[in-house]
Structure 1
Amino acid sequence: MTRFSLRTLVFGVVAALGWAGAMAGAKAAPDYKDKKINVIIGSSPGGGTDGTTRLVGRFLAKYLPGQPQMIFRNMPAGHGVKASNYFYNQAKPDGLTWFGGASSYVDPNNLRKKVVKYNPTHYEYIGAIIRGGSVMIISKAVLKNLTDKSMKPVIVGTLDGSRSWAQALAWGSEYLGWNLRFIVGYPGSAALTLALRRGEIDMFGTSGIQILRSLIKTGKFQGLAQLGEAEAGGVVRRKSFPDVPTLPAMMKGKTTGIAKEAFDFWSSTNQIDKWYALPPKTPKDIVAVYRAAFTKATKDPEFIKFGRHQFSVDFRTVTAETIAKLIGATAYPKLELMETIRQIRIKNGLPAARLSEAELAKLAKKLGGPGLKVKTKLLAVKRGGRWLHFKNKGAAHKAKVSGSRTKVTIDGKKAKRKKLKAGMMCEIVYGANGGEVKTVSCSTSQT
């Protein structure tokens, strides 16, 4: 063999090996054609976490390469702990499983419990959604009482003080001189709405725009304060409630030292609503594909339209980087901050910690459940049984059917809410117009 041919052969072999190595090192871009993706949801069907996750999943399927099918799996238990433990410890980081979570899943109080076997700062976040912070609504009849402690205190109804708006009122009591007395044990917004209309309580808080608007429309109630929304490094008012001040603005200059640090921390936790994540150690290329799909979804007019129609006109999205930074900064704070917040709750009449299911059930029974009851024909059933439209004493009413809390029966048998149909004669027990249904018993023989 000549020197020329030998040299040519050597260079050819080297080039071939280099090409093969490059091909071996190259990795195909993630493609989910004909794939099924599991979506873990830590709540029952029908709630805000479930609804927002399904909306995000619908549009992720549209924009992920290959347009995969999303399989939604609800795993309610322990305020999201069961689903979080499963996702963190068992979900494979292969892009075929992602998680729809809520603020309570990353609450620093919950993360310190022994049953928690996950660390949310290890997730690979896809993005997040904010629907608008809670607004505290008060009866106009007791506005004078609010700042005069020689008068009867303003009665605040709440679940157990674990809700951000209830804690906001505790801060107001401590540093703004609000004259408040808390009554715990109300099971939810429907019961609180009814109690406010009846005059049993004077104030409560909710982010539900329909409930807030229906109460304000009566002329008897007004917004007192709101948690607000994070924007440009600060907290701004919800677009739907531009005349209601934010609590951070009202608290400005009222605290110093550890109290100020605790309030600023607590205020930051309120800017977390619903978020979506991949398992820890998910490869960067998969994370990038998901984040790109989420970004495309946020620019889709249909996505925004559905979000604002289904949840709130304040519906907006948050980037993966922003939600990761926010959760990283609030999940594991100094114990001193948590103790300061805890003492403010206790001092102002709220439980030191979230009540158990048994304790809540006992209190709810004592206070009484939803108080409206009507036998009527269903005029319309919308969103797969989630909303019932009917008349009560000639007035048009609607009420929400929970997938986990509402008891549904048809012809005496337990049924899914999706089986409810317009024209059925039903007996409905519910909290208030626009509130939640406790029980609905229908008959097909009278349709």
Structure 2
Amino acid sequence: MTSITRRTLMAGGAALASAPVVAQAQTRGDSRVDFSGRTLEWVIPFAEGGGSDVWARFLAPFLSRHMPGRPTIIIRNVPGGGSITGTNDFYARARPDGMSFIGTSGSTQVPFLLGDRRVRFSYANMPPVFVSPTGGVCYLPARFGVANAAELGRLRGQELVYASQGATSLDVVPMLAFEALGLRVRHVFGMRGRGEGRLALERGEASIDYQTSSAYLRQVVPMVQAGNAVPLFSWGVVDAQGVPQRDPTFPDIPHFTEAYEMMNGRKPSGLAYDAYLAFATAGFAAQKPVMLPPNTPANIVETYKAAFASMMTDPELLANKDAALGEYVQATGDAIGPLYRLGTTIAPEAREWVRTYLTTNHNVRF
């Protein structure tokens, strides 16, 4: 019996054992469900120790504290298929009784938006209860003599090298950004993380890079302060209407849309930009959504939403959140829906443009 089969059978058994929970749980006057004495399972479709795992393990104790009945919350890691395996399994097997929920990441949203044939889940059918943004900054070695995004035009015609984790990974975001800017960038695949990309740039093997917010602050800011690197733009965040805004962690750095205007003297438009914005939102501005299974009753959904909202007012969480959440405003309550939709949808014509681009330029097959 394979390990995946064993996990599937165990998950199925746990779901059957918890089937009566909704009927047994006492409800309060506001209809929220009391999970006293229960153990809730937070599925993370990534291995232990990764960014999503660290994020969930930081939040879980606070969520438990603010859920009615203070249930125990355990993290169940189901890695495989770049997070597709665990998300497929959750979507097909999790019962809508409030006993399990899932947290995915931009690495899950990207194949969904691309229409990857391995995907068997639909974000449209999983009720969101929390969305956690993050960010990143694109930068360049100072040796190019480019002082800021307004001078990016100096690079036209020059070949830049980007050390990439893959054409259908989160690195599709910088790929689409460079394409929209009209930069000539050669993508070298095979990196196992953005840390390897940064080291490649430091060794002179790569010439343009981005790092997530925490890594940029730790590893790249000292390079900038030493005069060895120049920040170009951040991926930014978006408001409820999908309009890009500056990253709150880097208020002095323009976001990509501003950088495009600085470089070209006009606002970006067209399918290349539409595709970039969809994937940048999925990968960063709405990177980590939390969802319940399809067909979860409304009172359970509202219980989770209220708990996440209350959690984000917890003084202890607020005092310790910087390492796990940064400066980003976490989406709770009425803010969840608009950001979730922006991060999990793409116009059909923009999707087709990206698929054609990846097939033509990087031999990706769908």
1:250 corresponding residue in structure 2: 259
1:28 corresponding residue in structure 2: 27
1:135 corresponding residue in structure 2: 137
2:121 is paired with a residue of what secondary structure? coil
1:47 corresponding residue in structure 2: 50
- Go from structure 1 to structure 2 and tell me whether the alpha carbon gap of 1:321 and 1:81 turns closer, same or farther (over 3 Å shift): farther
Query: How far is the alpha carbon of 1:282 from its aligned partner?
Result: 1.5
**Which of 316, 341, 347 is the equivalent residue of 2:329?**
316
**Which of 102, 106, 111 is the equivalent residue of 2:105?**
102
Matched, 1:161 2:167: yes
The 8 Å contact of residues 304 and 315 in structure 1, kept in 2 or not, is answered as: no
Amino acid at match of 1:231: D
Counterpart-to-counterpart distance in 2, 1:119 and 1:151: 41
- Go from structure 1 to structure 2 and tell me whether the alpha carbon gap of 1:147 and 1:183 turns closer, same or farther (over 3 Å shift): farther
After the TM superposition, which residues 375-390 of structure 1 pair with which residues of structure 2 at under 5 Å, given as runs? none
- Go from structure 1 to structure 2 and tell me whether the alpha carbon gap of 1:333 and 1:228 turns closer, same or farther (over 3 Å shift): closer
Listed one character per residue, the Cα deviations across residues 89-110 of structure 1 (whole Å, up to 9, x for unaligned) are 2111111111121123233556
Listed one character per residue, the Cα deviations across residues 26-65 of structure 1 (whole Å, up to 9, x for unaligned) are x733222221111111111111111111222211100111
- Go from structure 1 to structure 2 and tell me whether the alpha carbon gap of 1:242 and 1:315 turns closer, same or farther (over 3 Å shift): closer
1:218 corresponding residue in structure 2: 226
Counterpart-to-counterpart distance in 2, 1:142 and 1:336: 36
The 8 Å contact of residues 64 and 72 in structure 2, kept in 1 or not, is answered as: yes
Matched, 1:192 2:197: yes
Residue-pair matches, total = 326
- Go from structure 1 to structure 2 and tell me whether the alpha carbon gap of 1:100 and 1:258 turns closer, same or farther (over 3 Å shift): closer
1:224 is paired with a residue of what secondary structure? strand
Query: How far is the alpha carbon of 1:198 from its aligned partner?
Result: 1.4
Give the TM-score, by structure 1 length.
0.65
2:129 is paired with a residue of what secondary structure? strand
**Which of 211, 216, 221 is the equivalent residue of 1:206?**
211
Counterpart-to-counterpart distance in 1, 2:172 and 2:223: 18
Unaligned runs of 5+ in 2: 1-22
Matched, 1:303 2:314: no
Counterpart-to-counterpart distance in 2, 1:120 and 1:325: 13
After the TM superposition, which residues 253-402 of structure 1 pair with which residues of structure 2 at under 5 Å, given as runs? 253-270=266-283, 271-308=285-322, 310-311=323-324, 313-319=326-332, 321-329=334-342, 331-344=344-357, 350=362, 352=364
Counterpart-to-counterpart distance in 1, 2:88 and 2:201: 38
The 8 Å contact of residues 226 and 245 in structure 1, kept in 2 or not, is answered as: yes
Give the TM-score, by structure 2 length.
0.78
**Which of 234, 237, 261 is the equivalent residue of 1:229?**
237
2:18 corresponding residue in structure 1: none
The 8 Å contact of residues 98 and 278 in structure 1, kept in 2 or not, is answered as: yes
Percent pairwise identity? 24
Counterpart-to-counterpart distance in 2, 1:291 and 1:228: 25
Counterpart-to-counterpart distance in 2, 1:150 and 1:223: 18
Unaligned runs of 5+ in 1: 1-23, 355-447
Counterpart-to-counterpart distance in 2, 1:115 and 1:232: 30
Q: Which has the higher helix share?
A: 2
Counterpart-to-counterpart distance in 2, 1:299 and 1:351: 47
- Go from structure 1 to structure 2 and tell me whether the alpha carbon gap of 1:167 and 1:263 turns closer, same or farther (over 3 Å shift): closer
Counterpart-to-counterpart distance in 2, 1:115 and 1:125: 22
Decide which structure has the larger Cα Rg and report it.
1
Amino acid at match of 2:228: K
1:57 corresponding residue in structure 2: 60
Q: Which has the higher strand share?
A: 1
1:71 is paired with a residue of what secondary structure? strand
Query: How far is the alpha carbon of 1:255 from its aligned partner?
Result: 4.2
